[in-house]
Each structure stands twice: as C-alpha cells, then as structure tokens.
A and B are shown apart, each in its own frame.
Chain A
Amino acid sequence: DQQVKQNSPSLSVQEGRISILNCDYTNSMFDYFLWYKKYPAEGPTFLISISSIKDKNEDGRFTVFLNKSAKHLSLHIVPSQPGDSAVYFCAAKGSGTSYGKLTFGQGTILTVHP
C-alpha cells in the first residue's frame, strides 16, 4: 500500500525553464510534507517543506504547492539549473507528534540540460 506516490519516474527540462515535480498521497492524516534532493551515493538533502495548514511555501527558486482536497503536492524549480539534476523525493509525516516516520515516494529523476 503505497501512501505516497510520484508517478513520473523521470523528468527532463531545459536549463532556465521551470521544472515541476508532482506527488500524490492517500493518507489524509499526513500533516507535514517535505521535498528532498538526492545525488548518487549521498544521503537525501532537505529542500523545502510545507505544513498541511498552508497551500504554498517559497524559498528562492523552489516553491512547494499543496492541494489538500486533491491530496496532491508539487515542487516548482524556477529557473532550472544543470546542478539541479538529481533524484527528488517527496515525503510525508503523520499527525500526532512533531517527529516520527516519514513516508517517501519512489522518487523522480530530474535531468536539466544545458
């Protein structure tokens, strides 16, 4: 039972354009969502997060949008740079405590072409 899904295994974008990575979830008890970037042979690096009480959070080139009614979140990267090429994971945390298990999606490989 995959509660967090990233349906696009890969995405290819031209440098300077927008990258949009999508994530869907099924558990309405998730209250916090995060995006991580992962390079080969390294651990995930935290990018940006959003609480379920918000619908948008922005940090520099990265913006996360949350649509609770659709149980959908997306990460926008504008403008995309070749150094953004990596695997992107969305993750969700259950409600009840401020810490605890993150449920990850399968990841989307982003390639940004010069």
Chain B
Amino acid sequence: DAMVIQNPRYQVTQFGKPVTLSCSQTLNHNVMYWYQQKSSQAPKLLFHYYDKDFNNEADTPDNFQSRRPNTSFCFLDIRSPGLGDAAMYLCATSREETQYFGPGTRLLVL
C-alpha cells in the first residue's frame, strides 16, 4: 500500500551524463514536489507542480528540470550532473498542508 513511490532507490551516474529520477503516487494528490537533501542538511525545495502548473524555486539551478505527464507521475531530470548534485532526492505530494514523502532516491555522481 505504498503511497509515494520513488525509483530507483539508488542511482549512480557519471559526471555530465543526464539522469532521470521518477516518482509516482497513489494518493491522487494534486500537488507534487521535488526536494534535494544533502547529508546533515535540511531538505531544500527545488520545484513543485500544482496540477500541471509548474513552480520553480528562484535558486534552483537550470540544470534541474521536471515533467509531470499526469496526476500520478512526476520526473526529475538532471541534464548534466556535477559532483555537487550528489544527494538524496525526495518526492512529496499533498492535497492541503501536509506533505507526504517517498523513500527518496540517493544519487551518486562519479
């Protein structure tokens, strides 16, 4: 009965090689979020979708893009990963104030 699913749980990519992380939800929530969390730091919001409306945080690098083809799925594309992009990437959903998180994808950049 998983509610927010992220695949894969671990992703290894090479410096500069595009990578896509995926998130799906069974909650039918209209809002989906992508956060980046580096070790020992607080999660940091990259962007969110309200339905199909995309909202980018002002300090999110252009290297990060997102797609939401339907209510259930949302993708995070990193066009040219750098070593500094190695982190845990968390997907979350909400209908109102409370956000529900997936298990995260840990990205390693070699």
Contact = CB atoms under 8 A, between A and B. Distances in A.
A8 to B, nearest CB: 14
Contacts of B81: none
Contact of B94 (A41, A99, A106): A99
Interface string A74-114: 00000000000000010001000011111111110000000
Given A101-B45, A104-B42, A43 B97 contact: no
B57 to A, nearest CB: 7
A93 B48 contact: no
A32 interface: yes
Interface residues of A, number: 24
A44 B94 contact: no
B100 A46 contact: yes
A49 interface: yes
B98 A34 contact: yes
Interface residues of B, number: 26
Contacts of B68: none
A59 interface: no
Interface in B18-60: 31, 40-45, 48, 50, 57
Contact of B31 (A49, A99, A105): A99
B50 A99 contact: yes
A45 B92 CA distance: 11
A2 to B, nearest CB: 8
B42 A42 contact: no
A107 B44 CA distance: 13
Contact of B97 (A32, A103, A105): A32
13 contacts: A34-B99, A41-B106, A43-B101, A43-B103, A44-B43, A45-B101, A51-B97, A89-B42, A89-B43, A99-B31, A101-B45, A102-B45, A107-B40
Given A42-B103, A102-B45, A107-B40, 14 more contacts: A32-B97, A34-B98, A41-B103, A43-B6, A43-B90, A46-B100, A49-B98, A51-B97, A98-B97, A99-B31, A99-B50, A100-B48, A101-B48, A104-B44
